[in-house]
Structure 1
Amino acid sequence: MKLKNILLSFIVLSFCQSWSQKIVVQSPNKKNVVALYAMDSNNKGEWYLKISQQTDKNTTEILPKVSLGISRSDQDFSKELLFLKATKPKLVKEHYELPFGKKLVRDNEANEVVVSFENPGKAKLNLIIRAYNDGATFRYEFPEKKGSYVVNDEFTAYQIPKDSKRWLEKWNTANEGLYAESSDDKIVQQEWCYPALFNSSDKSCWFLLHEADLDRNYCGTKLSNTKDSNIYKLTFPDPKDGRGTGEPKPSISLPWQSPWRVISMGSLADIVESTLVEDVSTPTRFKTTDWIKPGKVSWNYWSSNHGTKDFKTVCEFADLAVAMKWPYTLLDWEWDGMTNGGNLEDALKYIHSKGVKPLMWYNSGGDHTWVSSTPKDRMLTHKNRVEEFTKLKKLGVVGVKIDFFESEKQNMIQYYLNILEDAAQFEMMVYFHGCIVPRGWSRTYPNLMTYEGVRGAEWYNNVPEFTNTAPEHNTILPFTRNVVGAMDYTPVTFTNSQYPHITSYGHELALSVLFESPLQHLADRPEGYYELPNEAKNFLKEVPTSWDDTKLIDGYPGQEVTMARKKGANWYIGGISASERKEITKKIKLEFLAEGVNYQAVLIADGKHDKAFSSKTMVVNKNATIDVKLLRRGGFAVSLIPIQN
């Protein structure tokens, strides 16, 4: 209560100053500050936000200007906005859990202020601002009760200081590009995917731009700096996306709220460990979630692009799941054309006889995709989905992988959410490929297990380029794409696909910890796992796919990353290097371990060459360090299990 009174006094004091100057909202820990400014002195006109971070020594200006405004088909809400009022600050405080993800227990805590404006037509616009300990968020609201309109444009734009470093991915509808680092006079101007990572000019603060709580009342957006290299404006989907189907501008009905505009900020550890995207998203209305079960999956496509067409191959991957104690196996595309000793029903019967649960692939269907692979239209309409989910439930299938969406227009957002809602009625888990990146939906629809939306291991099938770009790419993803939600990279391969990998075996093993996905598809062929030494094989049997806690130990995007994740009382560590030139030696401090507990640590690191391991078992506690040597493009994994006295 005392803290709340102090915050109230601080913000009210700000309100008593000239409105043209600013309204200030501070995070609960007073570190992050969001200030609202008017462009002129009469509380009327254009408004913008300034976002900064305060420390004991200085204040870092993270975003000197975030332009605001929105335009509807009937009128504009950007140029001549008259300030009406601001609410008293409200402490948002929420405690919740998710059955999977980087953390089990979440705390959604922020200070919130709602600022009300009026345009020349007397129509109202609210700006809802929140300051979090790990970032800031804001959203627009039309509070009036009636009216339906098209949104012509949203003017939200982030001004980035010129000498800020940035890591961005060129826009593509599948979100499967590479992140590129740029700064100073080497800034490329084009459209960009979410999320976008930046390091402040003074290097003291990192921030990640994204959006969350996107619902059926809007479209997905992207970032564009085509007009000014240092101003990243939100833009709507291209009319050509989805083969031209659907409208690029969203239609809304009042009352209405936009998605949250999300700025995660702080140290690299603050970014990696943040759950802000899910914190601000709508809580689930599911009555039960005990049927939602994360786990590892055997998957035949990476090693055999037509593997599911072959009954014997399907059986081999079911046997792999049994041998490795993985609960699931995926029947990917072409299951409807299965031959060589059996068909789909035979395969499902075999899989169930082994105690493994099947997942099945579907084409999203419809005119929005060029891909004709069957079955194509069984997920396209509510009627089709109900019929298909009814069949799948009888066949004992527990989840579906749905592919090829190719658009983030409003009609496609509605399609995603319709699938999730219908699937939930049948207690069916879902994951998307060729798709959007996470927008917080896993909190609202916890049957959404994972998304692709990443340049993952299947690109070893597609182009020779990935052989050389993967090591660096792998060290960027934990700071960018995987921060905002589950990522179906399909990692941990030791043999080669069409094109080889040059990451070490230790690097590949570490990805099982570094890359978070509640359904983790381990992509290698059976012999790739059977031929592993026992320590590595046991690690892949035991490593979880959902976590109680996540800690970044150290790293830098494009160079290296080491992370620790907790499940129950156990901890797991994964670390990789992208270095092409030199081996490195790391000292891993174990300060995150429980006080007064000894752990058996099994270290599995690079061996004498990149296709060999070295293993070591030791007893450690939180005061210990582990020394580990990484080869070029190398890596390591550690399990830490409490020793029972």
Structure 2
Amino acid sequence: MKKSLYLSFFLFASIFSQRAHSQQIQVQSPDKQLKVVISVADGKPVYEVMLNGKTMLEKSPLGFVTNEGDLSTGLKYLKSAESKVDKQYTQAKIKKSEVRYEANKVVCSFENAKQQKFDLVFQVSNNDVAFRYEIPTWDKRMTCVVQQEATGFKFPAATTIFLSPMMGPMGGFARSAPSYESGYEADAPMGKNGPNKEGYVFPGLFHVGNNGWVLLSETGVSSLYCASHLSNGTSDGLYTVEFPNPKQNNGFGSTGAAMALPAATPWRTITVGNSLKPIVETTVPFDVVEPLYEPSKDYQFGRATWSWILWQDNSMNYKDQVSFIDLAATLKFEYILMDALWDTNIGKDRMKELVQYAKSKGVDVLLWYNSNGPYNDAPVGPRNKMNTSVERKKEMKWLRDAGVKGLKVDFFGGDKQETMRLYEDILTDANEYGLMIFFHGTTLPRGWEVMYPNYVGSEAVLASEMLVFSQQVRESEAFYATLHPFIRNSVGSMEFGGVLLNKFLNKGNQKGNERLTTDVFQLATAVLFQNPVQMFGLTPNNLTDVSAFEIDFMKGMPTTWDETIFIDGYPGKYTVIARRHKNTWYVAGVNAEKEVKKLNLKVPMLAGKKVNLYADDKDRKSSVKEIQIDKKGNISVEIQPRGGFVLR
């Protein structure tokens, strides 16, 4: 009898253990250092993330709600399947040109009480996690609307945040917000609400105490979904995925995502590291997406002059644009960007003349457009040319025939699915006419460098124009510069419009809005800030009023990189990054602190080599000298407050 009871108990315990185990799925990175555990708690799917045995994310919610059913609760685990991902690709527009992506993949199937099923897909590579939901057809249902997500990220108690607040709808210039142009809260406690109820934009950086660092973002957002952002966090460390505010884009368009089934949501990405090295060097936003179409031509990247940033609206005339074409030719830049109001101040007929003049100087032309249509009140033109298919295609045909090579399209102000469709429509139409596209007044690019072959970058940052307009931003310039390589520029190309060598940020360069950072700081940002087409803020007077070596530096400055390596830094304090273009290495650093930063750096890529050191002294005077890096790749540098250095 006792033997029979013991056997029954053993069989029951064994079955229970198997059932419990079947509802806890683990997937590890190829190097086995990173682990994700997926389970179901009271009918709700959750996941947790560990690195080297340390908790980076505690049990965090998963799932979503549609108009057809709730797929976030009352769920039953069905099965899972494991596989491997091994992908190699070449991409000139990101921080690394040759990439190999290896990951372990698990697909977990769930269903709700209505027997509606979905798959939860996790891909775990060394230091990166990417996951999404894949939805099949449900009975005769071929469509659904995802109304909200339960997706969240729960951090341990010791975590501090580095987050940028989401701007409120229909605010800012001419009611064109949100445009991802807020500052940052750095090393702030969790649970602190932002300046409004809108939460925070992607990407978000989190310092998990002694455990390490986590960078959150999303990628693969196309016309098939809305873009999302992070909620305000709770006091116990939970941040959830939030959909756009209904008031965005003048209230036009839905806030969820209408999907034709079968369908997949965008990928949410989690980059983790004991140090900041994996945060800076990650390529996961590009690893998990694919091109949506073939390029119609071989698009050429490079540098551009840009009169508007310092000479402003008054510079949009034929004479001033000729002077900036000549400047581009002297600097050996590939492009000139002609900004707002060219349509009224120059006109199409004379613009054709300017394009031909630029071509005679070996310079190509990029033109500015307003995206707005009915979405905001931005008054500057060209207006109402990019928001409808009929007008857009007529305009793009004229642009191609005139010899224009690309467009800067401005003032989007929303993350709704309809807005994502507008981005995609502009990009796909432009590709048909051989035009590159970059966006300002815009959302974060989410894998677009790979998805759209003619896409060449976005602003989506508190960029150089705010240095002209705001004393507070000028005072914080170095602070923000030490954040971007770890956060915004880590997940996507960032068209900042920098390298301002005027001492005063205006046309006269005599008085007014004084630049507070050094010249070498500015040169360093040309390395620190990555975008395949860079609009630099140099002006004709810089050819004679700054040191000749600074101009020579900019003449040789590349905008595409084959390799990016984190050297040293702490976000908000100082940053040192190395980038390689072909066989040439650049190591650049800036200092946001009030004291001189003395650093002992390891730069093995320069070991035993003679290099040029660009630096500035306590009097803000810049200089360049040749130095020898020792055979072990060690070097000591000093970075002045609001200063920088570059090794080349």
TM over 0.5: yes
Partner secondary structure for residue 552 of structure 2 = helix
Corresponding residue for 2:61? Answer: 67
Answer yes or no: is 1:166 the counterpart of 2:168: no
Q: Deviations over 1:341-369 (max 9, x none)?
A: x9423322321221100000000021112
- Whether contact under 8 Å (2:291, 2:453) holds in the other structure is no
Answer yes or no: is 1:181 the counterpart of 2:195: no
CA distance in 2, matches of 1:215, 1:485: 15
1:144 to 132, 137, 141: 137
Corresponding residue for 2:279? Answer: 271
The aligned amino acid for 1:515 is: F
CA distance in 2, matches of 1:622, 1:444: 42
Deviation at 1:16, TM superposition (A): 5.4
1:34 to 36, 42, 48: 36
The aligned amino acid for 2:61 is: S
Compared with structure 1, are the counterparts of its residues 513 and 634 closer, same or farther at alpha carbon in structure 2 (3 Å cutoff)?
Answer: same
Q: Deviations over 1:123-155 (max 9, x none)?
A: 111100111102111101112274212222111
Compared with structure 1, are the counterparts of its residues 443 and 393 closer, same or farther at alpha carbon in structure 2 (3 Å cutoff)?
Answer: same
What is the identity percentage for the equivalent residue pairs of Structure 1 and Structure 2? 32
Partner secondary structure for residue 243 of structure 1 = helix
Compared with structure 1, are the counterparts of its residues 451 and 339 closer, same or farther at alpha carbon in structure 2 (3 Å cutoff)?
Answer: closer
Corresponding residue for 1:193? Answer: 201
Corresponding residue for 2:553? Answer: 539
- Whether contact under 8 Å (2:606, 2:629) holds in the other structure is no
- Whether contact under 8 Å (1:99, 1:446) holds in the other structure is no
CA distance in 2, matches of 1:86, 1:20: 9
Answer yes or no: is 1:304 the counterpart of 2:311: yes
CA distance in 2, matches of 1:424, 1:185: 43
Compared with structure 1, are the counterparts of its residues 238 and 518 closer, same or farther at alpha carbon in structure 2 (3 Å cutoff)?
Answer: same
Deviation at 1:162, TM superposition (A): 2.5
- Whether contact under 8 Å (1:460, 1:500) holds in the other structure is no
- Whether contact under 8 Å (2:328, 2:335) holds in the other structure is yes
- Whether contact under 8 Å (1:221, 1:235) holds in the other structure is yes
CA distance in 2, matches of 1:274, 1:255: 30
1:24 to 23, 26, 29: 26
Partner secondary structure for residue 326 of structure 2 = helix
Deviation at 1:623, TM superposition (A): 2.3
CA distance in 2, matches of 1:328, 1:24: 50
- Whether contact under 8 Å (1:606, 1:629) holds in the other structure is no
Partner secondary structure for residue 604 of structure 1 = strand
Alignment of 1:184-333 (within 5 A): 184=189, 187-188=192-193, 190=197, 191-202=199-210, 204-225=211-232, 228=235, 230-266=237-273, 267-286=275-294, 291-333=298-340
- Whether contact under 8 Å (2:159, 2:190) holds in the other structure is no
CA distance in 1, matches of 2:605, 2:61: 40
- Whether contact under 8 Å (1:449, 1:517) holds in the other structure is yes
The aligned amino acid for 1:623 is: K
The aligned amino acid for 2:548 is: N
Deviation at 1:226, TM superposition (A): 5.8
Deviation at 1:244, TM superposition (A): 1.1
Alignment of 1:197-596 (within 5 A): 197-202=205-210, 204-225=211-232, 228=235, 230-266=237-273, 267-286=275-294, 291-338=298-345, 343-495=350-502, 496-497=504-505, 499-580=513-594, 582-593=595-606
Corresponding residue for 1:4? Answer: none
Corresponding residue for 2:613? Answer: 603
- Whether contact under 8 Å (1:20, 1:38) holds in the other structure is no
CA distance in 1, matches of 2:215, 2:182: 18
Deviation at 1:628, TM superposition (A): 2.6
Partner secondary structure for residue 562 of structure 1 = strand
The aligned amino acid for 1:49 is: Y
Corresponding residue for 2:72? Answer: 78
Corresponding residue for 2:108? Answer: 115
Between 582-591 and 548-557, the greater mean CA deviation after superposition: 582-591
Partner secondary structure for residue 278 of structure 1 = helix
2:643 to 619, 634, 637: 634
- Whether contact under 8 Å (2:160, 2:190) holds in the other structure is no
CA distance in 1, matches of 2:533, 2:551: 19
Answer yes or no: is 1:51 the counterpart of 2:65: no
The aligned amino acid for 2:205 is: L
Q: Deviations over 1:536-572 (max 9, x none)?
A: 2211111210000001110000000011100111101
Partner secondary structure for residue 175 of structure 1 = coil
- Whether contact under 8 Å (2:57, 2:154) holds in the other structure is yes
Deviation at 1:579, TM superposition (A): 1.2
CA distance in 2, matches of 1:437, 1:212: 10
CA distance in 1, matches of 2:336, 2:329: 10
CA distance in 2, matches of 1:356, 1:404: 27
Corresponding residue for 1:129? Answer: 122
Deviation at 1:625, TM superposition (A): 3.0
CA distance in 2, matches of 1:248, 1:377: 24
Partner secondary structure for residue 458 of structure 1 = helix
Partner secondary structure for residue 555 of structure 1 = strand
Compared with structure 1, are the counterparts of its residues 229 and 369 closer, same or farther at alpha carbon in structure 2 (3 Å cutoff)?
Answer: farther
CA distance in 2, matches of 1:346, 1:558: 46
CA distance in 1, matches of 2:190, 2:290: 40
- Whether contact under 8 Å (1:337, 1:343) holds in the other structure is no
- Whether contact under 8 Å (1:490, 1:520) holds in the other structure is yes
Root mean square deviation of aligned Cα: 2.0
Deviation at 1:288, TM superposition (A): 6.2
Corresponding residue for 2:148? Answer: 153
CA distance in 1, matches of 2:205, 2:59: 17
Corresponding residue for 1:103? Answer: 96
Structure 2: 5+ residue stretches without partners = 1-16, 168-177, 507-512
Compared with structure 1, are the counterparts of its residues 575 and 434 closer, same or farther at alpha carbon in structure 2 (3 Å cutoff)?
Answer: same
Partner secondary structure for residue 506 of structure 1 = helix
The aligned amino acid for 2:612 is: V
CA distance in 1, matches of 2:254, 2:45: 29
Q: Deviations over 1:225-263 (max 9, x none)?
A: 265562111111001111111111221111010000110
Deviation at 1:329, TM superposition (A): 0.4
Corresponding residue for 1:3? Answer: none
- Whether contact under 8 Å (1:510, 1:635) holds in the other structure is yes
Q: Deviations over 1:58-82 (max 9, x none)?
A: x210000220111111211111111
Compared with structure 1, are the counterparts of its residues 529 and 516 closer, same or farther at alpha carbon in structure 2 (3 Å cutoff)?
Answer: farther
CA distance in 2, matches of 1:631, 1:471: 11
Deviation at 1:529, TM superposition (A): 4.5
Between 225-234 and 162-171, the greater mean CA deviation after superposition: 225-234
Q: Deviations over 1:132-183 (max 9, x none)?
A: 1021111011122742122221110111223201100010210001111244
TM-score normalised by length of structure 1: 0.91
Corresponding residue for 2:624? Answer: 615
- Whether contact under 8 Å (1:530, 1:537) holds in the other structure is no
Between 305-314 and 618-627, the greater mean CA deviation after superposition: 618-627
Q: Deviations over 1:276-328 (max 9, x none)?
A: 00111123531565x21110110111111114422111111111111111100
